[in-house]
């Protein structure tokens, strides 16, 4: 009688594999393989589980099943450009970092899937990590997407970010001590007698904001006028026009410029020359990154060096640990000032 009553009632809807496995009396992995038609599962077991799934209205998420049963051996490398939508991956910093990441990932047996993202929706990173195409994700730069990255980092462990450590945030970050780097650059200019400084760069990204804060702290410690941040674009002709305009407007009122990156510094060198200002005689200029091209500019660029090769290796190592289910704390590398001819 009890069985007859149960058969008359509509079966309860199953929401996930775990619930279906409990009803079938097998493991969740067995259910996953059976619904995927895996021949390693006995035919009668497959048929029984498939019948139960149909009875309880359960449909397998094929992509999720794919992730549970095998690795993709692909790592997503994502470059979010919320703050600078015209910037290209051909930017020398991105190319240097991507080269080191590509070498390390391929040596570890992974394919690299590169994505330049213009974040138009809050869930852009959710879409990437939930695609089922990747074993993990490496992000180069936080742009203005710190909170979007943090939202995903709280639920998705194989995620490592090149960027700035931020108190209260859980995301695993690898990067330089940007505050210390900014302070190094400004202190060097001040020690060489420069007293009228400006900071050239968009301070919205956390890394750049920390560099500006460090440079500002050095200026304040020296009792000099507050450091002004002069935002500029980072892409092509627009960057050149922005920087040239800034130089024409205030160049002759300055004797030192702390640049947020080597790319900005190199453009500034050209703009200063075009205005008839000599570097470093009239204005000293520092960069940040110490890219290989920094030693080839005229004059050669004084720059804050961050070890990009080491950083790429640390990112891959942290991701590998997370893929194994291990903890991988954030790492903040110590920058150093490489003094050349521009300051």
Contact 197, 254 (CB under 8 A): yes
Q: Is 125 a residue whose pLDDT tops 90?
A: yes
> What is the rounded average pLDDT for all residues in the chain?
89
Q: Which domains, ranges and CATH numbers included, belong to the chain?
A: 2-69 (1.10.260.40), 74-176+308-334 (3.40.50.2300), 178-305 (3.40.50.2300)
Q: What is the C-alpha to C-alpha distance for residues 241 and 278, in angstroms, rounded to an integer?
A: 19
Tokens of 183: 């302070």
Confidence of residue 8 (pLDDT cuts 50, 70, 90): low
Q: How many residues does the chain have?
A: 343
pTM: 0.77
Q: Tens digit of pLDDT for each residue in 150-203?
A: 999 999 999 999 999 999 999 999 999 999 999 999 999 999 999 999 999 999
Kindly state the percentage of the chain with pLDDT values over 70. Answer: 92
Q: Name the percent of the chain in helix, strand, coil, to the closest 5.
A: 45, 15, 40
Q: Tens digit of pLDDT for each residue in 52-108?
A: 988 888 776 654 554 454 578 899 999 998 777 667 778 899 999 999 999 999 998
Task: Scan for tokens 């420069």, then name that residue.
Answer: 194
- Whole-number pLDDT of residue 247: 85
Torsions phi, psi for 195 (to 5 deg)? -130, -10
């Amino acid at each position: 009688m009890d069985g007859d009553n149960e058969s008359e009632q509509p079966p309860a809807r199953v929401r996930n594999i775990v619930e279906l496995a409990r009803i079938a009396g097998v493991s969740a992995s067995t259910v996953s393989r059976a619904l995927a038609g895996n021949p390693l599962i006995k035919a009668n077991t497959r048929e029984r589980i498939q019948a139960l799934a149909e009875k309880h209205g359960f449909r397998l998420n094929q992509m999720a099943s794919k992730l549970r049963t095998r690795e993709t051996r692909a790592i997503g490398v994502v470059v979010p450009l919320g703050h600078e939508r015209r910037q290209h991956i051909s930017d020398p910093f991105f190319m240097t970092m991507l080269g080191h990441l590509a070498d390390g990932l391929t040596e570890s047996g992974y394919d690299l899937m590169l994505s330049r993202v213009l974040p138009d929706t809050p869930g852009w990173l959710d879409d990437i990590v939930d695609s089922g195409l990747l074993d993990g994700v490496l992000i180069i730069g936080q742009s203005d997407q710190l909170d979007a990255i943090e939202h995903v980092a709280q639920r998705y462990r194989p995620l490592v970010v090149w960027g700035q450590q931020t108190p209260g945030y859980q995301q695993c970050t690898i990067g330089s001590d940007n505050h210390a780097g900014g302070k190094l650059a400004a202190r060097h200019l001040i020690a060489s007698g420069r007293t009228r400084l400006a900071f050239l760069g968009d301070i919205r990204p956390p890394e750049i904001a920390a560099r500006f804060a460090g440079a500002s702290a050095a200026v304040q410690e020296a009792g000099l006028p507050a450091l002004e941040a002069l935002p500029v674009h980072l892409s092509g002709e627009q960057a050149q026009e922005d920087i040239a305009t800034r130089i024409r407007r205030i160049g002759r009122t300055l004797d030192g410029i702390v640049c947020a990156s080597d790319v900005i510094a190199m453009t500034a060198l050209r703009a200063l020359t075009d205005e008839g200002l000599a570097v470093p005689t009239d204005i000293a200029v520092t960069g940040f990154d110490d890219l290989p091209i920094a030693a080839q500019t005229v004059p050669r660029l004084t720059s804050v060096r961050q070890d990009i090769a080491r950083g790429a290796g640390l990112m891959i190592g942290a991701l590998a640990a997370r893929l194994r289910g291990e903890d991988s704390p954030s790492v903040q590398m110590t920058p150093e000032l490489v003094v050349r001819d521009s300051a």
